[in-house]
Amino acid sequence: MSGTSSGKIVSLYGHTEKDKAASAIDRMQELVAGRMAEVNDTILKRMDSPVSLIPELAGHLISSGGKRLRPMLTLASADLIGYTGNKHIGLATAVEFIHTATLLHDDVVDESTLRRGKKPANLIWGNQPTVLVGDFLFSRAFELMVESDSLKVLKILAGAAAVITEGEVLQLTTANDLSTTEDKYLEVITAKTAILFAAACEVAGVVAGQGEEVESALHAYGKYLGIAFQLVDDALDYNAERATLGKEIGDDFREGKITLPVILAYRRGTDEERLFWKRTMARLKQEDGDLDTAIELLEQASTLDDTIKRAHHYGAMAKDALAIFKGNPAKQAMLDIVDFCISRAY
Amino acid sequence: MSGTSSGKIVSLYGHTEKDKAASAIDRMQELVAGRMAEVNDTILKRMDSPVSLIPELAGHLISSGGKRLRPMLTLASADLIGYTGNKHIGLATAVEFIHTATLLHDDVVDESTLRRGKKPANLIWGNQPTVLVGDFLFSRAFELMVESDSLKVLKILAGAAAVITEGEVLQLTTANDLSTTEDKYLEVITAKTAILFAAACEVAGVVAGQGEEVESALHAYGKYLGIAFQLVDDALDYNAERATLGKEIGDDFREGKITLPVILAYRRGTDEERLFWKRTMARLKQEDGDLDTAIELLEQASTLDDTIKRAHHYGAMAKDALAIFKGNPAKQAMLDIVDFCISRAY
């Protein structure tokens, strides 16, 4: 075994595949560029307030270079099914607001130190405004949803919001708990991440009035893509190569967040290794060098690789969910974005 | 001048009037008891979750003896206009959930130490679950609203939620700022408190399909009642008699929250008094005995009395808003509850 853990992840694809996947996001961005400009306008307009602290704080996160993957999925889904109306613009904005509100509340929650490469809002403005501006974005998201005039859309997105918070609380209750099963972990990431991906895609089908089959297919695509996305996210948090790129790694380790790489390593580990995981992640007694040791154990047990393999499985299901749709550039972009989400190194 | 500040507040009515007003809440509770039992059932059912931390944490606040004033207003408004349907039950529940979510997020926000006589949730469970369970209740509120199948109801309540959070942020920006005007203060309390009272009443008119005039009247009643309620709340925070009853006072003072009693006292004060307010509330350099001094200054400047007088003004407007309705027991209870909100000593 040579080099870093990321070497192992990359080795699953080779650099060419990785580059091809990386360009998928550019192609999807190009595809939806026109409508995304409208989404961006709506974001700016709807996060505005005479209370200047609100756009200031919200803009800190919203402008800080997220990929806008979720609203992009709404726009691409609309293109996929040939929807030419305007209702999905507000919904794409609502989806991004829900996501951003969740991130803001996570900042309070996790006391994390890096968020999209910037200092988290709560360290600049304090917990109070961070919670409240998150609430503000949630409320604005609901206003945008109401404007869609579709009770079905409202049911989907209000339901998603409830499931997301339930998933976040469930995640808290599994923190530091090394007996967490893979099944429970899947339940957490489906709720906290995948359901919003699913809703982002599904609502495009609803406003286009295309019926249950299309809506279910879009929902399934989004859900499986979201699960794959989160699996990769959780592997990347132990990716030493990212650290060399100046990215923060080890957040989950420091918080004792029990993700699949650790779940698998704990189960596969020796008694001695289990003592290491118990000390560092259950009791949070961590010393210098523990993160390096953790990464080493994950690599030895191949659990970063296996987490990525699981992501491939869900990625394949996401692609198959699109089988009912005729080929068009949006479909190709949505297929390619699955590979992007799995092979991304950031 | 003799006795405590609360002596001054009570002196505005005398004990008989205060007792009469206190029984108003009992009468309203009796009036809506049947439907309130349904609301309580809905509350328990909808705050439930397989993630047991959620009902545990939410129940801490929801079961801890709040008066359920807001859902009571929805039920009484429905009675006032003779609505016999069921849609307001879910909406009354949604209103209570929004209120509770706000309180939970306030717990994180204000680091307050007493909430409905119990330890705040964040001191028991930490900030993380408190924020998330607040989000969960917000989401469940929206689910309940969506179930009303009324886009108008959704517009009102989603708009209210956005205004509430905007008001809370505005309040943060006026904290420690002694130049805050009475006008700005009214803007804050209208947004953070009165709009939810207004929405709680208005939605009953909407589901009953009674038209704009009825909806506006209910909205106005709720709004003015809410303003009066908050004015009294802000006066009570400096009410020394409450301290003798074991209630916490001085929260606003300790946080540097600029409320009307202080706004008026600062304007009316001598240079020396202003230095006191600047030290204690702008710079938050507080010493033992400062709260007593603050209460003394507020009494000397009659600003607690004047805050209550302002509340009477808005209370009168609330009552007048009901003039278009025929007399019935619900109307009488809604009129009496105005007096209750103004003369309550807790």
Q: What is the pLDDT of residues B66-85, one digit of tens each?
A: 789 999 999 999 999 999 99
Domains, chain A? 5-343 (1.10.600.10)
A47 inside 8 A of chain B by CB: no
B324: distance to nearest CA of chain A, Å?
A: 31
A53 close to B (CB below 8 A):
yes
- Give residue A12's pLDDT: 42
What pLDDT, on the 0 to 100 scale, is given for residue B8?
A: 41
Q: Does B284 touch chain A (CB under 8 A)?
A: no
The answer, yes or no, to whether ipTM is higher than 0.90 is no
Instruction: Indicate yes or no: CB of A151 within 8 angstroms of CB of B155.
Output: no
Binary contact (A165, B129; C-beta < 8 A): no
CB contact at 8 A, A242 and A249: yes
* Neighbouring residues of B294: CB distance < 8 A, sequence distance ≥ 6: B238, B250, B253, B262, B276, B280
Q: Say which residue, B272 or A5, is predicted with more confidence.
A: B272
Paired tokens of A264: 């698998």
Q: Which residue is closest to B105 within chain A, CA to CA?
A: A131
B177 touches chain A (CB under 8 A): no
Task: Output the pLDDT for position B117.
Answer: 53
CA A297 to chain B, closest CA, distance in angstroms equals 30
B344 or B176, higher pLDDT: B176
In this structure, are residues A336 and A24 in contact, taking their beta carbons and an 8 Å threshold?
yes
Q: Per the CB < 8 Å rule, is A172 touching B136? A: no
DSSP A176: T
Nearest CA in chain B to A48: B166
Using the Cβ of B168 and the Cβ atoms of chain A, whether some distance falls under 8 Å is answered with yes
On chain A, the residues whose CB falls within 8 A of the CB of B168 are 132, 135
Per-residue confidence (pLDDT) for residue B107, from 0 to 100: 76
Given a cut of 90, whether residue B51 has pLDDT beyond it is no
Tell me if B136 and A162 make a contact (CB, 8 A cut-off).
yes
CB contacts of A129 in chain B (<8 Å) are 169, 172
Strand partners, B118: B115
Contact B179, B204 (CB under 8 A): no
The predicted pLDDT at position B4 comes to 40
Cross-chain Cβ contact A154/B165 below 8 Å: no
Of A129, A143, A166, the CB nearest to B136: A166
Return the SS3 of A50.
coil
Contact between B284 and B320 under an 8 Å Cβ cutoff? The reply is no
**Residue-level pLDDT, tens digit, chain A, 346 residues:** 333 444 344 434 445 666 666 688 888 999 999 999 999 999 999 999 888 888 888 887 777 667 899 999 999 999 999 999 999 999 999 999 999 999 888 877 555 544 445 566 776 777 888 899 999 999 999 999 999 999 999 999 999 999 999 999 999 889 999 999 999 999 999 999 999 999 999 999 999 999 999 999 999 999 999 999 999 999 999 998 887 777 788 989 998 999 999 999 999 999 999 999 999 999 999 999 999 999 999 999 999 999 999 999 999 999 999 999 999 999 999 999 999 999 876 5
Q: What is the pLDDT of residue B16?
A: 60
As a whole number of Å, the CA-based R_g of chain A is: 20
- Asked whether residue B31 carries a pLDDT value surpassing 70, the answer given is yes
Can you give the pLDDT at residue A1? 37
The pLDDT value recorded for residue A11 is: 39
pLDDT of residue B119: 67
CB-nearest partner of B149 from A131, A151, A168: A151
Residues of B in contact with A169 (CB under 8 A): 49, 51, 53-54, 129, 132-133, 136
Nearest to B108 among A51, A131, A168 (CB): A131
Q: Which residues of A touch B128 (CB under 8 A)?
A: 108-110, 172
Question: Is residue B206 scored above 70 in pLDDT?
Answer: yes
Burial of A200 (0-12, 13-18, 19+ CB in 10 A): buried
A98 touches chain B (CB under 8 A): no
State the alpha helices, DSSP H only, in chain A: 5-11, 15-31, 33-46, 53-62, 69-80, 87-110, 121-125, 127-147, 151-174, 182-189, 195-207, 212-236, 240-244, 251-255, 260-268, 271-277, 290-300, 303-321, 329-343
